[in-house]
Amino acid sequence: MRALIQRVQKAKVTVDNNTVGSISHGVLVFLGITHSDSKNDVDWLVEKILKLRIFTYKEGKLNESIKDINGEILVVSQFTLYGNAKKGTRPSFTNAAKGDIARPLYEYMVERLKKADVKVETGVFGAYMQVSLVNDGPVTLLLEKETQE
């Protein structure tokens, strides 16, 4: 499981020129899911996202979490996080889970974040989306939880 986390001043997702998800100050999470991912991986990632101290407190230090600042989260499914371009110039996406595996885990993640009493917005799973954001900092992190087989 991979998540690209961007601290944002604002972000939104549109599908067919309609805004489907929009947040103000918080984090934009691009979520990539692979074949071996499970709910345990989602649980780990949710806890990590909620506890990451990537927001400024005093003296410019990154010391506050999304919950500390009452921030918001926008979650967007992104199978291309598992793209592999080692050979040739056309990426392979064979490591990305198909929708029947990825969708339930994506939905589970959104549900778990909402239960943490954080405002959560989403894109539309599997849709062609436009994402716009104002990166804050910029602060961008790649979180990865590789399942041991």
Question: Of 70, 68, 66, which is closest to residue 50 (Cα–Cα)?
Answer: 66
Tell me the C-alpha to C-alpha distance, in Å, between residue 79 and each of 57, 66, 127.
34, 25, 11
* Helix (H/G/I), strand (E/B), else coil: 8: strand
Active-site residue 80, yes or no?
Answer: yes
CA–CA separation, 147 vs 149, rounded Å?
A: 6
The first and second tokens of residue 26, run together, are 């918080």
The first and second tokens of residue 75, run together, are 């979650």
Q: Indicate which residue of 80, 94, 140, 147 is catalytic.
A: 80
Tell me the C-alpha to C-alpha distance, in Å, between residue 103 and each of 10, 37, 59, 98, 99.
25, 12, 41, 8, 5
**Catalytic site positions:** 80
